A and B are shown apart, each in its own frame.
Chain A
Amino acid sequence: MEINEKMIRQIIGDVLKDFQFGDKSETPKAVEVKGGELTITEKGIAGMGTKRDEVVIALAPAFGKFQTQTIVNIPHNEVLREIIAGIEEEGLSYRIIRVTKSSDVAFVAHEAAKLSGSGIGIGIQSKGTTVIHQKDLAPLSNLELFPQAPLLDLETFRAIGKNAAKYAKGESPNPVPVRNDQMARPKFQAKAALLHIKETEHVVLNSKSVELEVSFS
């Protein structure tokens, strides 16, 4: 019984994937993300998602605007493009919002999840710390947490996008492999504090999240 149900789910999933790629003629493959500048346009207050096949990406207050690279100098446009590519590879669509009421990565991600049609959201701070969240979890809980920003490379951001999309589809993916560097704190904590202070300067208490249109030129 279970096996049949699994097969049926998989077939439906595959068929849906084909439908979503109405505009694109080929099956998804690696999306080029190198270089180019990030243009962010604010489109007004972010609303609830109506489609179940979306992941919402929430940017912390300064991301791509007042800071442009992570704590290990990965440009924000490349981070975003990798996450988007991961989501698209799984056949889902994305929305990007900016959260300004808090700079806390868990609250930023939870906002995304609450506004997401699938209930799945990703939150990213300017320094790179990232969370995959789900709307029914406690704000300081998460599906997957990436607390050591210096360890986050482009490959990991792509995997984060992919896993978020898989959760959105109701799958149970293998979590992105957990990485740990015991010397990240001695090396980076002071810098992380400075970057977070600078992010937090742009918090506007009780403000509503804004929907963004993002283009890479």
Chain B
Amino acid sequence: MKSKRFQVLAERDVNKDGFVSEWPEVGLVAMNSPNDPTPSIKIANGKVVELDGVKREDFDMIDQFIADYAINLDSAEKVMAMDSLELAKMLVDVNVGREVIVELTTAMTPAKIVEVVSSMNVVEMMMALQKTRARKTPSNQCHVTNVKDHPVQIAADAAESAIRGFDEQETTVGIVRYAPFNALSLLVGAQVGRGGVLTQCAVEEATELLLGMRGLTAYAETVSVYGTEPVFVDGDDTPWSKAFLASAYASRGLKMRFTSGTGAEVQMGYAEGKSMLYLEAKCIYITKGAGVQGLQNGSISCIGVPGAVPSGIRAVLAENLITTMLDMEVASGNDQTFSHSPIRRTARTLMQMLPGTDFIFSGYSATPNYDNMFAGSNFDAEDYDDYNIIQRDLKVDGGLRPVLEEEVVKVRNKAARVLQGVFAELGLPEITDEEVEAATYAHGSKDMPNRNVVEDLKAAEEMMQKGITGVDVIKALSKRGFDDVAESLLNLMKQRVSGDYLHTSAILDKDFNVISAVNDVNDYKGPGTGYRMSDERWEEIKNIPNALRPEDIK
């Protein structure tokens, strides 16, 4: 190589990323595959007999589920006959309200909705998303994990994330058998940070349901659906069994959403030659058909796949948009590493951050990425100040707030001490003062002492066998003198009885009021309407600790 410039370019972060050429036969194409079907619907006697070019006798289980449950058939024929470009224009048009849009979009077939969205550029998609998201106020979710599955670190990170502004928090495990401890630590730590934060523990389906039923989590998210039949089978389920699982959560009053994402079918080996976006549209429809209130998508763990092909990140925005067009909550990705380049990472995130979604990140890493047990998030704890400053630069509500070191240290310490008390009261392996001190000031698990893992795993198993529930945790908190946290956890568990947080896009504020698509309606219709930051919120975002104040200059 003779060009010095090309030598420098070759060493850039972005050139460490993985890129592939389109290969439509195996589904390595983001949008507009030559194998994607033409939109069509034929209804006879109130039943769909042809869907997107496939006759009922040729339906696979996904086609059948969508045909029978996911489409509003009353206006389907009318909407399917409408010009897709006209429909796209209505989506972008500030004068056409969400309530009009949703009547039309819920009557489309998967191929139709994809056709409508495929005619839009990303600016148009963001304009539409601003209008079609279900809840007016945008929010954010974080990941709280670490490579040691260290409970005290989880509790401390959960408390810090809560005061930074996350309304939902998600943990997972390096070792499956740690799941009960991770769930418990996240639950307690989050309530210490702020009463009302919702917590989940992402593990195998039956385990996750059990933890929820025991009151060790407040919601579930990673209930996964897939766009082709063989991939669904490898996921050990069918749309019906997933719907059954959804109703199992509902029967216990627990909030939940499904998860899907572009690229999963390619990753798992059976894309049947269809485009990533078309297959993801089928997943979105499965979610709708199952009666589930929302969906985590935006490629999620397969982001490296659309990220490798042209228009992949545009397709990722499109899938978030389609979810909202079907009148569901969207937790819009941004939760998985796909690039070495900070520039590329930011471009990807702006697609959801600028218009706002129900959860802009479905997993911002609240720890440094080396501790992120989802194998790395698009943004991590070291990006906090960048994110807060982008909010300030652009006057955008990204769901987070700047915090002071003193308040973080204080809340981390409290969370660690509270968990220490809970562990002692429940007879779990000791949390030492050394661990409490370490968690208070830790950045990541490199700053934490090791625990006796075998002892922890044994205790976690016994805890489940003994039938410890969230109520036992409330009692333990109270016995150890942490009545405020006990009351928060009690209020959280009461939500299962009241059921209000089962509504679309529901979160809880610090007073345990439910804020959802039902009572926080997105009425966006152009400038001056929809979500506008309050003065208080704008002050909070403006007020970064390192801004020079004129009054300080002497």
Contacts and interface: CB of A to CB of B under 8 A. Distances in A.
Given A107-B234, A140-B236, A175-B453, A189 B376 contact: no
A102 B19 CA distance: 28
Interface stretch (B103-111, B199-207, B543-551): B199-207
Given A144-B175, A172-B458, A190-B304, A197 B336 contact: no
Contact of A189 (B203, B206, B236, B305): B305
B204 A140 contact: yes
B373 interface: yes
A179 B373 CA distance: 9
Contact of B207 (A141, A175, A178, A191): A141
Interface string B206-244: 110000000000000000000000000011100000000
B69 interface: no
A188 B18 contact: yes
Interface residues of A, number: 41
**Which of A184, A189, A191 has the most chain B CB atoms inside 10 A of its CB?**
A189
Interface stretch (B134-142, B267-275, B385-393): B267-275
Contacts of A103: 234, 269
Given A145-B176, A193-B267, A186 B236 contact: no
Contacts of A193: 28, 263, 266-267, 304-305
A74 to B, nearest CB: 19
A140 B301 CA distance: 17
Contacts of B375: 147-148, 180-182, 184-185
Contacts of B304: 185-186, 188-190, 192-193
Contacts of A182: 337, 369-370, 372, 375-377, 380
Nearest to B237: A140
Interface string A168-205: 00001111001111111111111111101101110100
A139 B376 contact: no
A104 interface: yes
A172 B457 contact: yes
A196 B268 contact: yes
Contact of B204 (A102, A141, A179): A141
B20 A190 contact: yes
Task: Classify the secondary structure of A's interface with B.
Answer: loop
Contacts of B270: 200
Interface residues of B, number: 53
A8 interface: no
A142 B176 contact: yes
A72 interface: no
Interface in B12-51: 16-20, 26, 28
A186 B340 CA distance: 7
A138 interface: yes
B305 A186 contact: no
A90 B234 CA distance: 33
A193 B19 CA distance: 12
Interface in B154-212: 174-177, 203-207
A145 B28 CA distance: 27
Interface in B357-388: 369-373, 375-377, 380
Interface string A40-62: 00000000000000000000000
A182 B19 CA distance: 18
A139 B267 contact: no
A196 B337 contact: no
Interface in A112-145: 138-145
A59 B212 CA distance: 35
B67 to A, nearest CB: 24
B147 interface: yes
Nearest to B452: A174
Nearest to A173: B454
A187 B269 contact: no
A107 B301 CA distance: 20
Given A139-B236, A200-B269, A200-B270, A186 B338 contact: yes
A175 B175 contact: yes
Given A141-B204, A184-B375, A172 B269 contact: no
B491 to A, nearest CB: 32
B147 A178 contact: yes
A185 B175 contact: no
B540 to A, nearest CB: 30
B175 A178 contact: yes
Contact of A138 (B20, B207, B235): B207
A199 B18 contact: no
Contacts of A189: 18, 267, 302-305, 307-308, 338
Interface string B240-282: 0000000000000000000000010011111000000000000
B440 interface: no
Contact of B16 (A102, A141, A187): A187
Contacts of A181: 375-376
A185 B206 contact: no
Contacts of A183: 16, 337, 340, 376
Interface in B293-328: 301-305, 307-308
A107 B377 CA distance: 27
Contacts of B26: 197
B269 A197 contact: yes
A197 to B, nearest CB: 5
B118 interface: no
A139 B234 CA distance: 10
Nearest to A142: B176
B270 to A, nearest CB: 7
B339 interface: yes
Contacts of B176: 141-143, 145
B269 A186 contact: no
A186 B234 contact: no
Contacts of A104: 234, 268
A196 B234 contact: no
Contact of A178 (B19, B174, B376): B174
Contact of B266 (A139, A144, A180, A197): A197
Contact of A180 (B16, B307, B336, B370): B370
Name, among A144, A183, A185, the residue most crowded by chain B CB atoms within 10 Å (CB to CB): A185
B345 to A, nearest CB: 10
Contacts of B307: 186, 189
Nearest to B371: A180
Contacts of B234: 102-104, 107
B267 A186 contact: no
20 contacts: A141-B176, A141-B204, A141-B206, A172-B454, A175-B453, A180-B147, A180-B371, A180-B373, A181-B375, A182-B337, A182-B370, A186-B18, A186-B337, A186-B339, A188-B304, A189-B302, A189-B338, A190-B18, A193-B28, A200-B269
Given A172-B457, A190-B19, 11 more contacts: A103-B234, A104-B268, A173-B454, A180-B174, A180-B372, A182-B376, A185-B303, A185-B336, A192-B267, A193-B305, A194-B20
For the complex of A and B, the 9 pairs showing the least CB-CB separation, nearest first, are A189-B304, A182-B376, A200-B269, A178-B174, A182-B369, A190-B18, A190-B308, A104-B234, A141-B204
